[in-house]
Amino acid sequence: MLWPTAAAAHVKWFAPFDIASPARPFAETLASQWFWLAVAIAVPLFVMTVAFERTAAGDKVLTTMERLTAPLWSRADDFVRAATAAFFIAIFVIGGVYLTPDLRTGLEWVSWAQLLIAAGLFSRRTMWCSAIGILALWGAALHEYQLFHLLDYLVLCLGLAGYLILFSLEGSSWREQRFAILRWAIAITLMRSSLEKFAYPEWFDPLAQEKPFLTFGMPENVFLPMAGVVEFVLGLGLIWTPIVRRLSAIALLVIFNAAVVAFGRLDFVGHGLITMMLVIAAIDPAREMQIAPEFRRAIFGVPIGFIAALAILAPTYWNLHSLLHSHAPPTELSVHTGQDIPLVMSK
């Protein structure tokens, strides 16, 4: 929380990038001493937090958190609907984007569709329509952008759409899982996005030159692997035990808000849905864990969980990129707030 190492935000929003360019092999990351230093710091802290949570003092801390966040949790559904509506109204006003700042479009109907999505959130009877609209916009973006690029936002969209559909199912037992879907969606999204720091560290170069304070005086080859580990571990923490989940969400909220100071309104609006999901993860009083609860409470579960998550997501990221772009010509996409940069969209 005191050292927001991931305050670079979404680099795609502020600097040129080329999705089709070859990703650096993950073996290079595994060969970095700074990657392993970050792992050696983050994973033991994760273990210590899980161990503390099992004590009487940990239970008192959790009870205090529940008491402090109870007023907001009682209005959690209202908060999700209001924050989501505000996000879609904001990008309607900005105009010319599919769901996120780096997916720009010249199609006017897209902006109006996002206004309709916001309107559909005012009634439980129409929330499922908004859910379909979100998924439809993601699908429409496939006509202008490459699949690998859009995978950055797929899980996030599925999680939000899933919440809206489950919320509208009054009386169904599935409705109770709506907040869990948001937690898993944001966790997977952040863990996957952290891999970008390992695969494309060169994308960060323009930002580091423009805003050198982002690396805290460290060389980029030191900062980026450590920042990637921090983001990955905090993302994993969002689906772990209650105290780990809450503290991970709070730390990520600090990081994302620190990025707003550096990057302004675009970052604030663009991360609106992520911020909303992190707030829900931070205030959710749920202590029961339906998936492998004993494993996640166990001390040995932390290093095994970290290795398993990395072993699943990293090969998936690199193999998908290799499959989808092995014969693709280079195509540059860029978005920047400080100056006008031509945008070339890949068909």
Which DSSP helix (H) or strand (E) runs through 97? none
pLDDT surpassing 80 at residue 197 = yes
Identity of the residue numbered 226: M
| CA dist., res. 56 & res. 33, Å (int) | 37
pLDDT tens digits for range 29-63: 898 999 999 999 999 999 999 999 999 999 999 99
> pTM score, two decimals?
0.82
pLDDT of residue 332: 41
Question: pLDDT (tens digit, 9 = 90+) per residue, 138-176?
Answer: 999 888 887 887 888 889 999 999 999 999 888 778 888
Instruction: For residues 21 and 19, give the distance between their C-alpha atoms in angstroms, rounded to a whole number.
Output: 6
Q: Where are the domains of the chain?
A: 11-333
Q: What is d(CA 247, CA 257) in angstroms, rounded to the nearest whole number?
A: 15
Average pLDDT over residues 102-121: 91
The stretch 212-222 carries a mean pLDDT of 73
Q: Which strand (E) or helix (H) includes residue 215?
A: none
Measure the CA dihedral 93/256/251/78, to 10°: 0
How high does pLDDT run on average in the chain? 83
Task: Pick left, alpha or beta for residue 216 (phi over 0 → left; psi -120 to 50 → alpha; otherwise beta).
Answer: left
Least confident interval from 115-124, 194-203, 210-219, 278-287: 210-219
The 10s digit of each residue's pLDDT in 252-297 is 999 888 877 777 777 788 888 999 999 999 999 988 887 888 888 8
Nearest to 19 by CA among 263, 347, 269: 347
Q: Which helix (H) or strand (E) holds 332?
A: strand 332-333
Residue 36 token pair: 């392993």
> Residue 115 is which amino acid?
L
CA dihedral 311, 314, 317, 321 (to 10 degrees): -110
pLDDT tier, 99 (very low <50, low <70, confident <90, very high otherwise): confident
Mean pLDDT across 7-24? 56
Residue 75 has a CB neighbour count (10 Å cut-off) of 11
Cα separation of 19 and 322, whole Å? 11
**Which region holds residue 230: left if phi is over 0, alpha if psi is between -120 and 50, else beta?**
alpha
Longest Cα pair distance anywhere in the chain, in angstroms?
59
Neighbours of 113 (CB within 10 A): 18
pLDDT confidence bin for 13, thresholds 50/70/90 = very low
